[in-house]
Amino acid sequence: MTHIDPGLTGAQMTLSPEEHRRLAKRYRRRTTLTAYAFLGPNLVAFVVFLLIPVVWLLVSTFRTGGVLGPAEFVGLDNWRDTFSDPLARTSIRNTVVYSAIAIPAVFIIAMILALALHAIPRGGAPIRVALYLPTLQPAVVAAFIFTFVLHPDFGVINYAVRWLGGDPINFLGDTTLALPTIAGIEVWRGTGFWTMMFLAGLTALPGELYHAAELDGAGAIRRFIRLTLPLLRPTFYFAVIFATIVNLQLFDSVFALTDGGPVNSTISVSLYIYRSLFLFGDIGFGATLSFLLVITVLLLTGLQTYLLRHRKFRLTTRPSTRNAALTPPRAGLAQAFQGRDRRSRCRT
C-alpha cells in the first residue's frame, strides 16, 4: 500500500497494450502453475495407478506372459485365443445377463421404495437406516448370509418351500438358477444405496411444478411419468453409468458364493481375469480379457451418455436447465437423511 508509484495517478492508471499483454500472460502462467499444483497429487495417482496400467494392458495384449521367461511379442495371438475361448465367451455372457437382471431390478425396487419414503411426512429415519444396512456390508458378507438363508437343507427359504409342500430348491447349485440368485443377492445389497440416491433426487424436485400439475388435473401416475421421470434425468444418468461400471466388474459375490460354478454357469469376466493371472499365469490372455472389459465399459457408458444426455427427453423437457433454474444450487438437495423437508412436500 505504501509503494504507490507517483506516476500512476488518474488517467495514467490504464496500462499500455504491451504491458497489459505481458501482465495477463504472467497471470495466466501463474494460474496454470497453481492449478496444476492443486491437481498434482491426483494426477500422480492417476498416472501411476490408472494410465500406466492401461497402457501396460494394451502392450501386454500383444505379448506372452513374462512370469517365467521374458515376455515375447506374439502379435494378435492373445486376441485370437481370447475370442476363440469358449469360457471367455461364457464369462462375458454371464456378466451381461447378470447386469441385465440386476440393474433394472434394483432400480425399480429402489424407485418404489424412494417414492414410498418420499410420501411419508415423518419418521423415515429408522426406515432409511434399516434399508441402508445391507449396502454397508461387503459383498462377501452378503454372499455368506445368503448361502445360509438359501441353503437347500436348513435355509429358511427352503424351510418355507417344504412347508408349502414343494421340493427344496438348490438355488446356488442349479445351473440356470445360480446366476439370477447372485443377481438377487446383489439387488438386496444395492437397494439401500439406490433408494437413498433416488430419494435425494426426489427431494430436490421443485414442488411448484407438482402443484401446478395437480391443479391441472394430472393424476399421480401421470405426474410420475410426465414430471418425475424427466426431472430426475440427471440422477438416472449418474445411476445408469455408475451401475454399469460397477456391475460389469462382478467378482466378490461370485467368488464367495459359487466360484464360477456350477459348471461355469456363473463365471464372470473379472473372475476369469483373476484366474488367468493367479491360476494359469497366462498374463497375455488375462490382459486381453481385461482390455476387452475396459473397452466394453467405455463404449457402453459412451452410448448411455449419448442416449441419456443428448436425445429423447430433450425434445419434451430440458430438465437440467429447468432444474437449475427452479432449484437454488445445492440448497436443500435432498435432506434425505434428515427427515425434514423445508420445501413443500407433494405426492409424486
Partner 1 sequence: MILFVGVAIALVPFLYVVSTSFKESTSLFSYPPDWIPSPIFWGNFESLFADHPFVQWTLNTLFVSGAVTALKLWFDSMAGYALAKMEFAGRRGVALLLLLSVAIPISALIIPMFFVVRYLGLLNTYWALILPPLANPLGIFMARSFIVGIPDDLEASARLDGASEFTIYRKIVLPLIRPGLVVLGMFTFMLQYTSFIWPLIAVQDSDRQVLAVGISGLQSAFLQDWGLLSAGMLAAAIPITVVFLLVQRAFVFNDLSGALKE
Q: Which stretch binds partner 1 (CB under 8 A): 10-18, 223-231, 248-256, 310-318?
A: 248-256
Neighbours of 1 (CB within 10 A): 3
Peptide bond into 152 cis (omega under 30): no
Up-side HSE of residue 14: CA atoms within 13 Å toward CB?
3
Q: Does the protein bind partner 1 through residue 317 (CB under 8 A)? A: no
Rounded to whole angstroms, how far apart are CA atoms 11 and 20? 16
Residues contacting residue 19 through CB under 8 Å, at least 6 positions apart: none
CB of 279 to partner 1, least distance (A): 13
List binders of partner 1 among 176-205 (CB under 8 A). 188, 191-192, 196-197, 199-201, 204
CA distances (Å), 233 to each of 97, 308, 312, in order?
25, 8, 11
Of 153, 216, 315, 342, the residue at the interface with partner 1 (CB under 8 A) is 153
> Which span (11-19, 165-173, 220-228, 237-245) binds partner 1, by CB under 8 A?
237-245
Residue among 252, 275, 313, 346 that touches partner 1 (CB under 8 A): 252
Q: What cell does 297 get?
A: 465399459
Report the residue number, 189 or 223, with the smaller CB distance to partner 1: 189
| Grid coordinates given for 203 | 427431494
The answer to the question of residue 144 lying near partner 1 (CB under 8 A) is yes
Q: What is the rounded distance in angstroms from the CA atom of residue 310 to the CA atom of residue 307?
A: 6
Site for partner 1 in 71-100 (CB under 8 A): none
**283 scored as a contact of partner 1 (CB under 8 A):** yes
Q: How many Å separate Cα 205 from the centre of its chain?
A: 22
* Contacting range for partner 1; rule: CB under 8 A; set: 14-22, 77-85, 174-182, 335-343: 335-343
229 touches partner 1 (CB under 8 A): no
Residue 86 to residue 76: CA distance in whole angstroms: 18
- The yes or no reply on residue 235 touching partner 1 (CB under 8 A) is yes
Does residue 344 interact with partner 1 by CB under 8 A?
no
